[in-house]
Amino acid sequence: MKKIIIFIVSFFMLSNFAVAETNSPLTMKNLHGYHVMTGIEISEMLLGKKVILKDLLSEAVYEIKISQNGLTEKKIITAKSPKTLTNVEYQARADILSGDVKFSIEGSKIITTDGVRTYISTLYKKDRKIYGVRDVDNESVNFQILIDYKKESLQKIK
């Protein structure tokens, strides 16, 4: 009986610790006042320019450049947080595409593929804030795009 009680208490403490470590996730329902970006807005913002893509769950930060022909360049500014190893939510979601990623815009959607996996993303904008939601993330907002950034300001988003 004593072993069962110790197990239950240990499990309860671990589950409380796990809950305390995770922030409540940002979802599409929390994006009040944001509008879906049009294909024209997306093209003007992304094509041929460098932007910062922040993975809100892993805390990784990337500098991304998308050429007019749809090829992408990705440079890691900040690597994934070590916390992702034990973050169940992060481990359960689809990973960000890497390698030879191709990019296209259809309507108000961004389609990215590495030849094996394909994600369809929607960008939501309000003032200067832009968030990305992928079709595979069940309405969770996992990405933020920063435009018109300065190298010095990258320290703030790390």
Residue 6 has pLDDT above 80, yes or no: no
For residue 50, the SS3 value is: strand
Question: What is the predicted pLDDT for the residue at 54?
Answer: 93
pTM of the model: 0.74
Question: What is the predicted pLDDT for the residue at 25?
Answer: 72
Query: Domain locations in the chain?
Result: 25-157
Rounded to the nearest integer, the mean pLDDT of the chain is 79
pLDDT, tens digit (0-9, with 9 covering 90-100), for 44-84: 988 888 999 999 988 999 998 888 888 888 899 999 888 88
For tokens 């790390």, what's the residue? 158
Pairing of strands 129-134, 118-126: antiparallel
Residue 130 has pLDDT above 90, yes or no: yes
Question: What is the predicted pLDDT for the residue at 52?
Answer: 93
Report whether 52 contacts 149 (CB < 8 A).
Answer: yes
Question: What is the predicted pLDDT for the residue at 154?
Answer: 52
Q: Is 14 left (phi over 0), alpha (psi -120 to 50) or beta?
A: alpha
Question: What is the predicted pLDDT for the residue at 23?
Answer: 54
Q: Is 148 left (phi over 0), alpha (psi -120 to 50) or beta?
A: left
Residue 150 has pLDDT above 80, yes or no: no
Residue 17 has pLDDT above 60, yes or no: no
Question: What is the predicted pLDDT for the residue at 149?
Answer: 63
Residue 3 has pLDDT above 60, yes or no: no
Question: What is the predicted pLDDT for the residue at 20?
Answer: 36
Question: What is the predicted pLDDT for the residue at 71?
Answer: 82
pLDDT, tens digit (0-9, with 9 covering 90-100), for 91-117: 777 777 777 888 899 999 999 998 888
